[in-house]
Structure 1
C-alpha cells in the first residue's frame, strides 16, 4: 500500500466557490444549511449558541485509569451564525474553548467562548463586522493591518508557563486561565512584535522550550520564535519563504527546523477584487511542495522540492547521527479540506479523497529527499507523545477515515495508531454514526512506559459529545473509559492534555 510520490497525475484545478466579486450571501448559506439539517452529520457544524456551558461529573462507562489525571483542553470554530447570517467557511467561526477535567471525583466539562476583540465587538453589534479566512464581509478588509482585527482564536490551545495560549494562524496568541477558561488578553512577546503572527502548531520540546513560527503573508517571510520554558522570548529569526501564506505546521529535530510549503500562492489581484483570504489563494502546481530545512546552529538552509501536494499537519520528526531526518505528515494532491470548508457550511458534502499518511526522509549530508505514502491510511490530526517531540519515536496516532465510510458523510470514523518504523496499524472503529475528532497521547503518572490515547467524538444517534480513553498499545480493544456529555458540541480542531501536578 506504500507508494512513492512523484508519479501521480496533476491535481485538478483549485476552484473556491466564488466569483471575482467575493460576494457573501450569509442569509442564503444559512437557509441552505437549515434545509440540510435532516442529514445527521450536520450536527457537527451547527453553532454553539450559548456563551458558556458546564457539566459533570458526567455519566462514565468503564473506569478512568489511576495514572491519568489532568485536563484535555480543546478549541475550534463554533459560532458559525450571527445576525441571521452564516459564515461561508468552516474555519471562520469564533473559537470555543473546552476543558475536559479528569479527576478522582469524575469527569467534568466546561466550554466558554474566547473573548477576542473580534468576538466582543460582533456580539455587541449583533452582526458580523470583519471578514474571515473564507468569508468576505462587506465594508471590511480581507487582509487588515493589524491582522488581530479578524483574530478568531479558533485553531489550537497549548500550555505555556502556567497559562494556556489560544492560537489562530496569522495573528496573536490569546492568554487563557487554565482553571476558569477566562480570557486574559493578547500575548505580546516583545513590544516590536505586537500583533505579529504566532502560528497554531508550536512545538514544545522535552526541555520545556518552545519553537513556533508566524507568516508575514504579503511579504513571503516567516518569523521563527524561540520561547523559554518560563515563557520568555529567547530569539526571533526571519526566513524568506515566498508563497508561504498557508503554511500551517512545521517540525523540529535536535538540530533542524523543517517547513513543508504547499503551492498555494496569495494573489494580490484577487484580494483587491474582494475575495476573502482563502479564496484569494491560487493553486500553482509548478511551485511543487517546497521543503525548507533550517540548521539551528547557524541558520543555514537546504531546500528541496516534492511534487505539488498539500500538507497541513505533521506528526513529528527526528534525525540520526548521520544527519538523516525522518518525519511523518498527512499529504494530499490538493487542499481538499480547505475547499470542503465552503460546502460544509451549506450542508453539502461529497468525498473525493483526502490526506494520507506520508513518510519523508531527508539526508542533509547527501542533499537527497524521499517520500513514501501509505495509500490505505487516509486521515488527519497526527500526534505523538509530547515527550517525543523532536526525538526518535514509533507511534503516531491520528483520526482515520475508513474505506467503507459513506461518501456523502464528511469526517472520520476511526482512531488509528501507526508504527512509523514497522508499518503496523492498530485501529478502533467508532462506527458509521460518529464524527471522530483529534485524539492525543498522555503518559501514565505512575507506570513508566504506559500511555493513554484520549479524545472526543460526536455520537450522531444520541446527539452527544463523548470523551474516550484508550490504552495506547491496544486501540483495537476499545475504550477503557467513555464519558458522555449531556449535549453535542460543534466539531473542534486541536488541543492539548495537561497532566495534574
Structure 2
C-alpha cells in the first residue's frame, strides 16, 4: 500500500474514542442529571458562568470605549473561538473541551467596538440542531442514547482556534479538517480540502507561520491508532505545498514549536487505551518519560528523538536555534490533570484543583543529543510573542498569569515576562475575573513594541470586557476598555486582522 492509499484508509477509520463521553457524575449525585446539577451549582458558584454556554447567534451591537483606543487599532478586527453550545435538549456536556464552536468578532472603531458572534455550522452542529438534541458523545462527555460516529468529521466541533488565510477565517479543531468562515458575517462556507487524499485527516488547532510566511501544522494520527503524525506545509495563502507522515509516539500532542529549520514536538507520558471517551481512554504514566521529537523542516524527516522529563504541554511560545542548540519556550505542567479532569475542577478547592502551568524553557543540544528543562515558578499559560520574530531569539513573552492566593484554579492577570531576567510586568483584574488569551499587535519595528488585546470575564458581576494594553506598560492597566451587555463563555484561541 502506498502512502496515498494509506492516508485514504485512515480517513475511513471510525473514531469511536473521539465520539465517546465522560461517564462519571462529577457532582456525585445519582438522581439529578448533570444539566440539573449544573444549574444548581451555578447559583452557588458564579465562577461557572464561564462554562454556562450559549444557545443562539449574537447580532451586532456597539459598545463605547472607556479610555482611548490607539489610532493604529482603529479598523482592527479581533476574533475568539471556543466551545459554547454546552446544552441541547436538557443535556449538558461535562468536560470543558466539549461544546460546539462559537466565533466572536470584535470590530474596533475610534468610539467603541461592535461585537457579534455565530456558531460554526459544522456537520455535527447542523445534524444535532435538526434533531433537537446531542447525537454524539463528546471528547469527555457521555450523552444518553448517543449514536456511534462514522468518522472524526461527524464529531468535529471546530471549537479551538482560528487561522486567517486568504481573506477567510479557518475554524480549527484537533482531529479533523478546518471550516471556512467569512471574516465579516462569520457565516460558514464549507470545509477546507487540501487534497482528496487528506480529506478526513486531522489538521491540528495550532498551525504556526514562520518568519518566511510558510504555514506549518501537523495532524495527530494516534487518534486513529497510528504511531505517527502527519506534517503539513502551506503557502501564506493556504495552498498545500507538501505533507508527509512521520513516525511518532502514540500519546497526545496539542501544539508544537517552529524555528527556521526545525519543528519540535513534545509527547507526554499519556497512554491511549480502552475507554468510553477519548479523555477516559487516556492514562497518565507515572513511571514513564516524555519524548521529544525534532523534525527537519526542509526534508520533513525526524533528526532526533529522545526521552525527556515527564510533564504536559498545551502551548509553546517562540523557539530558536543558537549554534547547535534549540531553545523552546513552553507552558509546563507536571502532569496531565488539567486535560483529564472535567468541569468540576473549576470550583475545586486549592487542595484538589490541578496545578497551573509555569513558564519554562526546553534546551536541546543537537550534538550531544541531550535536553534540559529549565522551569520557573511563574504561572503562565496561553503564551504569545511578537510573531514577526518567530525562530529568532526573543526575551519577552505574553500570557495569562495568576496572583498568589487566588481562590480558584484559573488566571486573573495579563502579564509579560522577560525569560532572560525573570522580570514580570502584570496587571491583575482581581479575584472575580478570569482572563483569556492576549494577542500582540505590533506598533513599531522593535520586538515588543505594540499592544495587547484580550477579553476577560467578571463572573461575579456577570459581564465580559474587551481590553487593550500597551504591551510595554501592562501594569499601568488598560488604555481602552469596552464592557459588553452580557457575559460570554470562556474561549480558547483567536486571531487579529
TM-score if structure 1 supplies the norm length? 0.89
1:423 and 2:422 are equivalent in the alignment: yes
Offset of residue 348 of structure 1: 5.3
> What secondary structure sits across from 1:329 in the alignment?
strand
TM-superposed deviation, 1:285: 3.1
Alignment partner of 1:226 out of 209, 229, 233:
233
Q: Supply the distance in 2 between the matched residues of 1:447 and 1:396 (Cα, whole angstroms).
A: 14
- Structure 2 residue aligned with 1:128: 134
Counterpart residue number, 2:17:
none
Partner of 2:317: 315
Deviations 1:412-469 (A, max 9, x none): 1111111122221111111111011111111127999631011000122331110111
Match 1:101 to one of 88, 107, 122: 107
Q: Provide the C-alpha distance between the structure 1 equivalents of 2:230 and 2:56, rounded to a whole number of angstroms.
A: 37
| Whole-angstrom CA distance in 1 between matches of 2:400 and 2:191 | 31
1:278 deviation in Å? 1.0
TM-fit CA distance, 1:131:
1.6
Q: How many residues align?
A: 468
2:73 maps to 1:68: yes
Q: Is the 8 A contact 2:316 2:329 kept in 1?
A: yes
Cα distance change on mapping 1:90 and 1:234 into 2, 3 Å: same
Q: What does 1:31-42 correspond to in 2, within 5 Å?
A: 31-37=36-42, 38-42=44-48
1:235 alignment counterpart: 242
Alignment of 1:248-267 (within 5 A): 248-267=254-273
Could you tell me which runs of 5 or more consecutive residues in structure 2 were left unpaired when the two chains were aligned. Answer: 1-20
> SS in structure 2 opposite 1:337?
helix
Cα distance, 1:123–1:423 mapped onto 2, change above 3 Å? same
- Distance, in Å, in 1 between the alignment partners of 2:151 and 2:58 is 28
**Secondary structure in 1 aligned to 2:342?**
helix
1:280–1:164 distance in 2 versus 1, CA, 3 Å: same
Larger mean Cα displacement after TM superposition, 41-50 or 481-490: 41-50
Contact 2:331 2:380 in 1 (8 A): yes
- Alpha-carbon offset, residue 300 of structure 1: 3.5
* RMSD between superposed Cα atoms in Å: 2.3
Counterpart in 2 of 1:7?
Answer: none
Relative to 1, partners in 2 of residues 1:123 and 1:159: Cα closer, same or farther, differing over 3 Å?
same
In 2, Cα distance between equivalents of 1:127 and 1:487: 25
CA deviation string 1:356-387 (max 9, x = no partner): 11111111123221111112x12311111221
Deviation for aligned residue 1:389: 2.2
Q: Distance in 1 between matches of 2:22 and 2:143?
A: 16
1:35 CA displacement: 1.1
In the TM superposition, what is the alpha-carbon distance from 1:229 to its structure 2 partner?
1.1
Aligned pair 1:191/2:192, yes or no?
no
Displacement of 1:45 after TM fit? Answer: 1.1
Deviation at 1:27, TM superposition (A): 6.2
> What is the alpha-carbon distance in structure 2 between the residues aligned to residue 448 and residue 334 of structure 1?
33
TM-fit CA distance, 1:55: 1.6
Q: Deviation per CA, 1:202-255, whole angstroms, max 9, x where unpaired?
A: 0012232200000112112100000001211000011111213x2100011001
CA contact (8 A) 1:262 1:290 kept: yes
Post-superposition CA distance 1:72-115 (Å, at most 9, x none)? 11100111111011112111111110111112453111111111
- CA–CA separation in structure 2 for the residues paired with 1:420 and 1:367: 24
Structure 1 unaligned residues grouped into runs of 5+: 1-15
| Partners of 2:86 and 2:99 within 8 A in 1 | yes
Aligned equivalent of 1:276: 277
What is the CA–CA distance in structure 2 between the aligned matches of 1:448 and 1:385, rounded to whole Å?
6
- Contact residue 336 and residue 354 of structure 1 kept, 8 A: no
Moved over 4 A (4+): 16-20, 24-27, 138-142, 347-350, 445-449
Using the alignment, how far apart are the partners of 2:448 and 2:382 within structure 1? 23
Contact 2:280 2:340 in 1 (8 A): no
The worse-fitting range, judged by mean Cα deviation, of 189-198 and 334-343 is: 334-343
